[in-house]
Structure 1
């Protein structure tokens, strides 16, 4: 496989893995869940803001209610003291406060309805988010199990990018080993034929090697002639009469016959 082909395979593999991550349903489910949680938080924040404004209106209403009661007492006290004009002024202020209280009451009731609506939305959304989370985790677990099964099946079948890379590396290693073995055999043959010279060998080593081969052949021929003439076993391999063996007899192997 050429380098350009390997680079294309690597780029294609990385691109495929990137697309798989983008299209991973687990990540999409997590993103959807995060969006729902953020929306739920916004609803709860709005509910807290409405509750704060409602409480502020309630405090204003309580303050105006206290003034309303106090002005009634003051008008009665002024009237009892013969100050009808002062009693009229207190009643006029009391009427103004009454209109302000009526306005606050409308605002308070509107916020009360808004609070109830937000509470209902918050409750529904909380249930939806909880149900979605359970279903999300179930789908993610199923997808992860299926993904693991696919990878295991691909590994068993020898498919997939990683197994393909392993097979390619193994094939290249086998080719390199075969090439190196052929090269070693070729250099051995060339050394044996003299086409290559062993620079580390002593001078005239080639002549000595050929002479040693001639001597070995001559020894074999001589042993064959001796065996044909006497019917004895191979030179240097006969035992002593009676089957007794000398413990140091092996030291004489290759030293020629001990007696003529």
Structure 2
């Protein structure tokens, strides 16, 4: 073999190896998995930011709730001392504060809803990524086994680095056939298990979402019924009822008319 022919064979062999690396499905699977992991990290970062904003508003609301209660006490004390002007001032400030609390309460509830949605999205995405990772590793192992078998067959057939153009094309065709056979076997398993529609989704995810929606509606109906009963009972209260105590009592401010 002449020097020119030898160089042509070496360059062709290197180009074939580079093309094989470009067509390697294992790298594509790993890239897809890394992209999903980065997406999960972004969702978790957003969840942390929403939770932080919600907590900040909650603390602000608790401070305003404490001031709301103090103004009621000050108005009562002013009346006890015969200072109706001071009592009126305290009540005016208390009324203004009630409107401010109503505004931040809306923000708080909106953030709470966003946090719940992000938590649900994070859970479902984590489950999908875990399922994808399992499938990815299975496919990579199948591909590696097929690749090893192809190399063993090539060695047994005496194929070397000086293969002809026809031999190089045949070897690449064998690799692709082995890959497609592995993929066909994998899809056969997915068809048998009934997971072909979405191989990365958890089983019965649609039923879980519907049941969760039904449970949420039932809980909302129960809370609405409790609020109606509480409102009916509140009609018998005497003046001087204050906002509900506790760290989250500020959430009830402004929901029903109150007097100091």
TM-score, reference length from structure 1: 0.61
Partner of residue 148, structure 1: 148
Q: 1:19 and 2:19 equivalent?
A: yes
Correspondence for 1:82: 82
The correspondence of residues 88-237 of structure 1 with structure 2, limited to 5 A, is 88-161=88-161
| 1:161 positional shift | 2.8
**What is the CA distance between 1:31 and its match in structure 2?**
0.4
Distance of 1:92 and 1:161 partners within structure 2: 93
- The alignment yields a C-alpha RMSD, in angstroms, of 1.3
- Give the Å deviation of 1:160: 4.7
List per-residue Cα deviations over 1:86-137 (Å, max 9, x = no partner): 1111111111111111111101100111001000100110000000000000
- Cα drift, residue 158 of structure 1: 1.6
Note if contact 2:68-2:97 (Cα within 8 Å) is conserved in structure 1: yes
Contact kept in structure 2, 1:47 and 1:119, CA below 8 Å: yes
Aligned residue pairs, count: 164
Choose 34-43 or 5-14, whichever is displaced more. Answer: 5-14
CA pair 162-64 structure 1, distance change in 2 beyond 3 A: farther
Q: Residue by residue, what CA displacement relative to the aligned partner does 1:187-223 show, whole Å, maximum 9, x if unpaired?
A: xxxxxxxxxxxxxxxxxxxxxxxxxxxxxxxxxxxxx
Q: Is the 8 A contact 2:9 2:162 kept in 1?
A: no
Q: What SS does the corresponding residue of 1:161 show, helix, strand or coil?
A: coil
* Unaligned residue ranges in structure 1 (runs of 5+): 165-260
Give 5+ residue unaligned stretches, structure 2: 165-260
Equivalent in the alignment of 1:56: 56
For 2:162 and 2:57, locate their aligned partners in 1 and report how far apart those are by CA, in whole Å: 68
User: After TM superposition, which residue ranges in structure 1, 4 or more long, deviate above 6 angstroms?
Assistant: none
Is the Cα contact below 8 Å between 2:71 and 2:91 reproduced in 1? yes
Deviations 1:157-209 (A, max 9, x none): 12253788xxxxxxxxxxxxxxxxxxxxxxxxxxxxxxxxxxxxxxxxxxxxx
How far is the alpha carbon of 1:12 from its aligned partner? 1.3
Do the aligned partners of 1:155 and 1:163 also contact (CA within 8 Å) in 2? no
| Distance in structure 2 (CA, Å) of the matches to 1:162 and 1:98 | 87
Higher relative CO (Cα under 8 Å, sequence separation at least 6) belongs to: 2
Distance in 1 separating the partners of 2:92 and 2:4? 96
> Looking at CA atoms only, which structure, 1 or 2, has the larger radius of gyration?
1
Q: Distance in 2 between matches of 1:121 and 1:162?
A: 55
Indicate conservation of the 8 Å contact 2:74/2:90, yes or no. yes
Alpha-carbon distance in structure 2 between the residues aligned to 1:41 and 1:162:
49
